[in-house]
Amino acid sequence: MTNEVMLLGGMTLVTFLIRYPLLAMSGRITLPPRLMQALNYVPPAVLTAIIIPTVLIENNTLWIAPDNPRLIGSLAALCIGLWKKNLLLTILIGMGTFLLWQGIGGV
């Protein structure tokens, strides 16, 4: 138990020491407008990099087919999200479509 506590404490300390100086100086640093504009693309890029492999890869194989419930649920969520621009509705429709398609396909 002691090793785990020390490990957690060490990870907390390292994480804090890496991030705190930037947070402490954030009010004093002015970033160029082009950099601020470029930083707006970071969250969508990271989210896409996380989601796409999860949706399209199964057992190290590309799975682009109508029997892929993750793909169908993602497409449904994408369509609703672009159409309605409502996060809760997008999540509900995407998950509902995924679960329904998974039940129909028996995956």
Q: What is the pLDDT of residues 22-49, one digit of tens each?
A: 888 877 888 899 999 999 999 999 999 9
Span 84-91, average pLDDT: 96
What phi and psi, each to the nearest 5 degrees, are found at residue 42? -65, -50
* Other C-beta atoms lying within 10 Å of the C-beta of residue 89: 14
Domain that holds residue 63: 33-105
Residues 46 and 23 both lie in one domain: no
| Two tokens, residue 21 | 């100086």
Residues 39 and 90 both lie in one domain: yes
pLDDT value of residue 63: 94
Amino acid at 84: K
pTM over 0.75: no
Number of independent structural domains in the chain: 2
pLDDT value of residue 99: 96
Residues 58 and 98 both lie in one domain: yes
**Does residue 106 surpass a pLDDT of 60?**
no
C-alpha distances out from residue 79 to 11, 33, 41, 84, 100, Å: 40, 32, 21, 8, 17
Interval 52-66: pLDDT, tens: 999 999 999 999 999
* Other C-beta atoms lying within 10 Å of the C-beta of residue 68: 21
Residues 60 and 47 both lie in one domain: yes
Could you give the CA distance from residue 69 to residue 54 in angstroms, rounded to a whole number?
12
Average of per-residue pLDDT values in the chain: 92
Residues 59 and 18 both lie in one domain: no
Residues 93 and 69 both lie in one domain: yes
